């Protein structure tokens, strides 16, 4: 049985390293980098430099999670909802 976690190599700050991520996290990371007009390596270097503990793969997963949580919170605060009738008073 193939593991959903794939080990990938990336160069950050001039040195080659590897991260083990599921395809969904890797794809999301690439989307975030593109939306910020950054290279994948630059985004991962930023994540790497700001982490306080844990391994890089975990830091990337948490970064992606936080990114989408912030987007969801922003959408809610601007009146967008994932379900109809949200925000309506309960009788």
Distance in angstroms (rounded) separating the CA atoms of residues 59 and 51? 6
User: Which residue in the block uniquely carries the two structure tokens 């160069």?
Assistant: 11
Q: How far is CA 79 from CA 25, 56, 62, 69, 83, in A?
A: 27, 35, 26, 16, 11
Prediction pTM value: 0.79
- Grade residue 84 by pLDDT with cuts at 50, 70 and 90: very low
Please indicate whether residue 41 or residue 2 has the higher confidence score (pLDDT): 41
Distance in angstroms (rounded) separating the CA atoms of residues 65 and 34? 17
Domain ranges of the chain: 5-77
Task: For 27-66, write each residue's pLDDT tens digit.
Answer: 999 999 999 999 999 999 999 999 988 899 999 999 999 9
- Planar angle of CA 10, 16, 20, nearest 5 degrees: 50
């Amino acid at each position: 049985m193939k593991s959903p976690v794939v080990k990938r190599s990336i160069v950050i700050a001039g040195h080659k390293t590897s991260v083990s991520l599921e395809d969904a996290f890797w794809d999301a990371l690439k989307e975030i980098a593109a939306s910020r007009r950054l290279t994948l390596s630059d985004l991962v270097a930023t994540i790497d430099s700001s982490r306080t503990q844990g391994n890089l793969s975990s830091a990337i997963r948490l970064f992606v999670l936080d990114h989408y949580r912030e987007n969801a919170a922003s959408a809610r605060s601007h009146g967008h909802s994932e379900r109809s009738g949200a925000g309506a008073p309960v009788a």
